[in-house]
């Protein structure tokens, strides 16, 4: 895979709480680049925007777009793809990902996971949604979670679902 196959990823910090995590942008870039290199999807010449927000910001997005009035860890908004190629050199948008700091921090602490591992997982999860994966049924969830495990393993991150399997 060449750098031309990796989507351009812009990270926008919209909440001051992310200042504590100075490496967040690097973590997100690495996670998305690794994911893009391991999936069979046309992600070259495309662009992604990742918004690092807080619980209040993601709660508003969750309420407005999903009708769920509570914060969540990550939301993905796949871009509608034009029927014809865009004019000029404009990149093709894959979509947007929003990640909430407080929920991500709380989950990492509760699950005794390093924050950077959990952030990587959420970035990978959001990216996979942008390229068409979902977990609406058991079969799709199994496929998506397996791909997440493989990508995270490539990043040196343990299986994020191992604890879930033990609880069942």
Q: Which two tokens stand for residue 42?
A: 């046309």
Within the chain, what is the greatest distance between any pair of CA atoms?
52
Torsion of CA 40, 43, 45, 49, to 10 degrees: -170
The average pLDDT across 31-53 equals: 92
Give me the domains of the chain, ranges plus CATH numbers. Answer: 8-155 (3.40.390.30)
Ligand-binding annotation for 129, yes or no, is yes
User: pLDDT tens digits, residue range 90-135?
Assistant: 678 999 999 999 999 999 999 999 999 999 999 999 999 999 999 9
What's the pTM?
0.90
* Chain position carrying tokens 């009035």: 69
Is the pLDDT at 48 greater than 70? The verdict is yes
């Amino acid at each position: 895979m060449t750098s031309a196959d990796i989507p351009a990823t812009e990270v926008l910090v919209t909440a001051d709480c992310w200042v504590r995590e100075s490496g967040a942008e690097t973590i997100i870039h690495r996670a998305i680049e690794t994911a893009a290199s391991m999936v069979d999807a046309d992600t070259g010449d495309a662009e992604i925007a990742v918004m690092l927000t807080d619980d209040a910001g993601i709660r508003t997005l969750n309420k407005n777009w999903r009708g769920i009035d509570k914060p969540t860890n990550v939301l993905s908004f796949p871009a509608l793809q034009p029927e014809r190629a865009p004019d000029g050199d404009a990149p093709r948008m894959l979509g947007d990902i929003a990640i909430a700091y407080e929920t991500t921090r709380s989950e990492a602490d509760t699950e005794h996971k390093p924050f950077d591992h959990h952030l990587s997982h959420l970035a990978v999860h959001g990216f996979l949604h942008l390229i068409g994966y979902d977990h609406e049924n058991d079969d799709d969830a199994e496929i998506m979670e397996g791909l997440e495990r493989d990508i995270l393993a490539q990043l040196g991150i343990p299986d994020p679902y191992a604890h879930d399997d033990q609880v069942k």
